[in-house]
Amino acid sequence: MATDRPYHHGDLRRALLDAAATAIVENGPSTVSLRDLARRVGVSHAGPVHHFRDKAGLLTALATEGFELLADALHGAREQGGIAELGVCYVRFATEHRAHFAVMFRPDLYHADDPQLAHAAERAFTSLTEGIGAQVTEGDSAAAVLAAWSLVHGFATLWNTGVMPPELVTDPVDGARAITGILNRAIGPAGGDPAAGS
Amino acid sequence: MATDRPYHHGDLRRALLDAAATAIVENGPSTVSLRDLARRVGVSHAGPVHHFRDKAGLLTALATEGFELLADALHGAREQGGIAELGVCYVRFATEHRAHFAVMFRPDLYHADDPQLAHAAERAFTSLTEGIGAQVTEGDSAAAVLAAWSLVHGFATLWNTGVMPPELVTDPVDGARAITGILNRAIGPAGGDPAAGS
DNA sequence: TGTACATCAGTGAACGCGCGTTCACTGATGTAC
DNA sequence: TGTACATCAGTGAACGCGCGTTCACTGATGTAC
C-alpha cells in the first residue's frame, strides 16, 4: 500500500501483462498499445520499455506465458488419460485465457524466434501430440493427431470469436465434450466399436 | 489501355479489393491501411473513400465477397454429397482465399451489421449446416454439425497461420481429406463404408 | 451534328491524433565498509 | 549504526511517422435537346 502513488510500482511487469490481457479481451490483440497499457496501470508511458524491450517483447512474454500454462494444463490432463480430457482441457484453456490464446497464434505480433517462447511452444505441442498419439488405436496416428488438434482448435477459435450460434452450443466445455466424444468414437481406444483390438 | 495514367481508373473498386487481398496475405488483416491500398493501385489516397465509405467499409465488402464465394462453393459441394466433400471444400476455400477467410472471422474489423454481409454470411452458414446435417445418420445432429465445422475451421486456421509442422501435413487438401475421413467414420452414413453411392 | 449541363470519379492540401521509441533525468533501494 | 555509492525503476519532454477523414476542387463522361 505505501503512500499514494509510490515511485516504484512493485510489480510493474506483472501489472502490464495483466493489463494487456484485459485490453486484448476488450479489443483484440492487434490494437494493444504500450501507451494505453501504461495508462491503465498508472505509470509513465516510457515505463514499459524497461521491462519489455518493445511492444513485440511484451506480447512475446504474454504468448510465452500462454504456452507454459497450456503445456502444464495438458500435462495434467494426460495423467487422466483419454482424448476427450485432453480436448476439453485445450478448450477450457482457450476460453479461460482468451487473451493468451489469441496472442499465441498470432506469430506476426511477437518475436517468434525468442528462445524461451520457442521452448514453451515446443513443450505445449509435445504434450498435445504425444497425449493424443498415445490414445490412438486405429489407423494413421499422424492424421488422428491432426484431426484432434484441428477439432479443438477450431471449436475454441469459433467460440472465442463469438460466431457460434446458440442453437449449436451454449457452454464451451459441454460443446467440447460433445465433439471430442464424437471423434473418440472414430479413433479412440475401444471406441464405439468394442471389436477394436490391441 | 488509353493514354498513360488516365484520370478515371476504370474499376477502382475491384482494384482496391484485390490490393487489399494482397496486402492481407502479406501482413494480416489488421494492418491494412487505405492509404497503402491507394498507393498500391496508383491513385490518390482520398480515392478509396469514394467507393467505400471508410476503412471498415472496404473490409465489409471483402468479407461479404468471401461469404458469397464460400456459400457458392459449399452449395456446389452439397450436390456431390458427403461430409468429406463439404469439409474439403471449406478448407480449399480458406487456403485459396486466405485474405477473404482471414477477414470473414474478424468481425471487429468490419461493419458486422451490414445487411448484405449478414445475408451472405447467413447463406454460407446455412449451406454448411444443412449440408452436414443431411449426412448425419448417427447420434446428435447438432453436435455433429459442430464437430464438422470446428474440425475444418481449425484445420484451415492452423494451416493458414503456418503453425502446422510438416511432419503432420504437407498439402492442405490431403490433410482435409484425411481428417474429414476420420470424422466421417464416426458420424457419416454407413459409417466407414466407402460404398456410399449417389 | 453540336452544345449545354448534370453527374460522377479522382485530386491534393490540410487537419488532428495516437503511436513507438529515444533521451537525459531523478527518485528509491540496497549493499559494502 | 552511519555513510558513500552503484544500481535499478520510473519520468516527462521530444522526435518523427503514418494514419483516417474532410474539403473545395477539377477533369472526364454521358445525356437531353
CA of A19 to C1' of C15 (A): 32
User: With contacts defined as CB-CB under 8 Å, which chain B residues touch A168?
Assistant: 142, 145-146
Cell of B1: 489501355
A3 pLDDT exceeds 80?
Answer: no
A198 pLDDT exceeds 50?
Answer: no
Cα–Cα dist A103/A95, whole Å: 13
What is the phi/psi pair of residue B102, to 5°?
-65, -40
> C-alpha angle with apex A145: A143 to A149, nearest 5 degrees?
120
pLDDT average, residue stretch B27-55: 96
In the structure, what pLDDT confidence band is assigned to residue B194 with cuts at 50, 70 and 90? very low
Is residue A73 within 8 Å of A89, Cβ to Cβ?
Answer: yes
> C-alpha angle with apex B161: B147 to A61, nearest 5 degrees?
105
**DSSP-derived secondary structure letter, B112:** T
Cα–Cα distances in angstroms (integers) from residue B11 to residues A11, B22, B41, B89, in the given order? 55, 17, 11, 30
Q: Taking CA atoms, what residue in B is nearest to A159?
A: B150
Cα–Cα dist A137/A135, whole Å: 6
Cα–Cα dist A133/B189, whole Å: 27
Cα–Cα dist A85/A176, whole Å: 9
Percent of chain A beyond pLDDT 70? 93
pLDDT at A196: 36
Of A80-89, A128-137, A186-195, B12-21, least confident by mean pLDDT is: A186-195
CA of A49 to C1' of D27 (A): 51
> C-alpha angle with apex A173: B183 to A97, nearest 5 degrees?
110
pLDDT tens string B103-159: 999 999 999 999 999 999 999 999 999 999 998 887 889 999 999 999 999 999 999
B98 pLDDT exceeds 80?
Answer: yes
Closest CA to B67 of B112, B34, B24: B112
Q: How many CB atoms lie within 10 A of CB B162?
A: 10
Looking at every residue in chain A, the average pLDDT score rounds to 91
User: With contacts defined as CB-CB under 8 Å, which chain B residues touch A163?
Assistant: 105, 107
Expressed in angstroms, the distance from the first to the final Cα of chain A is 62
Cα–Cα dist A124/B156, whole Å: 20
Shortest Cα distance from A2 to chain B (angstroms)?
A: 41
A8 pLDDT exceeds 90?
Answer: no
Cα–Cα dist B31/B109, whole Å: 10
CA of A184 to C1' of D8 (A): 54
Closest CA to A86 of A159, A192, A181, A198: A181
Check residue A164 and give left, alpha or beta (phi > 0: left; psi -120 to 50: alpha).
Answer: beta
> pTM, whole model, 2 decimals?
0.93
Between B80 and B38, residue with greater pLDDT: B38
pLDDT average, residue stretch B171-182: 97
Q: Indicate yes or no: strand C within 7 A of the C-beta of A12.
A: no
Its sign, for the CA torsion B7, B9, B10, B11, is: negative
User: With contacts defined as CB-CB under 8 Å, which chain B residues touch A155?
Assistant: 146, 150, 154
Closest CA to B128 of A164, A152, A177, A178: A164
Of A71-85, A109-123, B98-112, least confident by mean pLDDT is: A71-85
Percent of chain A beyond pLDDT 90? 82
Cell of A92: 477450457
pLDDT at A4: 53
Question: CB distance A187–B182 less than 8 Å?
Answer: yes
A1, burial (CB in 10 Å: exposed 0-12, middle 13-18, buried 19+): exposed
Question: CB distance B143–A182 less than 8 Å?
Answer: yes
Helix segments in chain A, DSSP class H: 12-27, 34-41, 55-79, 83-96, 98-104, 115-133, 141-161, 172-187
